[in-house]
């Protein structure tokens, strides 16, 4: 079923004939549109289908997607920075750290090792998440600077790999002794 929010531009019949056509939705679409198999609809300026949001990311919601991913990166960075600061402070200013902990009523009976373990766990979990999310933010900054969508970028890279494989085909195991590439 076609998405009611994606309408082809008003055009005369000659222009409609020149427009790409989605055989699944049975409607003419914009040039950068793509049919998403997960959502079963055409998306204008299709970027990707986000499994975390369970939604397609395209021209209409790309800015909101980027703002969300950036905000998550900032939030994880704050958690990571705060946890690292507290862990360092725990060892450099032991007395002050313990006084702060003891001043919180329900934490006064917890040993220092509990907090060290908690902070190390927070850093161990949030460190990789921060790196992955920051990498995603940087990728989308790069893609925006190149005026590409994720889909267009992936298809471009796939085309480059296919042309390289056609230019330098892999040897068979008999010819190359193990099937190694040149």
Active site residues: 50
| 180/182 Cα distance (integer angstroms) | 7
Tokens of residue 159, six digits? 């085309």
3-state secondary structure at position 73: helix
Distances (CA, A) of 15 to 8, 30, 35, 156, 176: 11, 11, 21, 27, 53
| 1/128 Cα distance (integer angstroms) | 40
Give, for 37, the enclosing helix (H) or strand (E): none
Q: What are phi and psi of 27, to 5 degrees?
A: -140, 155
Torsion of the alpha carbons at 71, 77, 79 and 84, rounded to the nearest 10 = 180
> Which residue carries 């609809």 as its tokens?
41
Give yes or no for a contact between 121 and 47, defined as CB atoms under 8 angstroms apart. no
């Amino acid at each position: 079923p076609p998405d009611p929010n994606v309408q082809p531009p008003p055009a005369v019949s000659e222009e409609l004939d020149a427009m790409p056509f989605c055989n699944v939705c049975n409607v003419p679409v914009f040039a950068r549109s793509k049919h998403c198999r997960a959502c079963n609809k055409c998306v204008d300026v299709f970027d990707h289908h986000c499994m975390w949001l369970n939604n397609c990311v395209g021209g209409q919601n790309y800015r909101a997607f980027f703002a969300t991913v950036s905000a998550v990166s900032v939030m994880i960075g704050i958690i990571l920075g705060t946890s690292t600061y507290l862990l360092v402070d725990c060892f450099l200013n032991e007395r002050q750290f313990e006084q702060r902990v003891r001043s919180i009523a329900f934490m006064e009976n917890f040993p220092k090792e509990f907090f060290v373990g908690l902070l190390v766990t927070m850093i161990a979990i949030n460190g990789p998440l921060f790196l992955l999310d920051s990498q995603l933010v940087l990728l989308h900054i790069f893609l925006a600077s190149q005026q590409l969508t994720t889909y267009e970028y992936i298809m471009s890279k796939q085309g480059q790999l296919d042309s390289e494989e056609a230019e330098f085909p892999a040897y068979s195991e008999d010819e190359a002794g193990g099937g190694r590439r040149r």
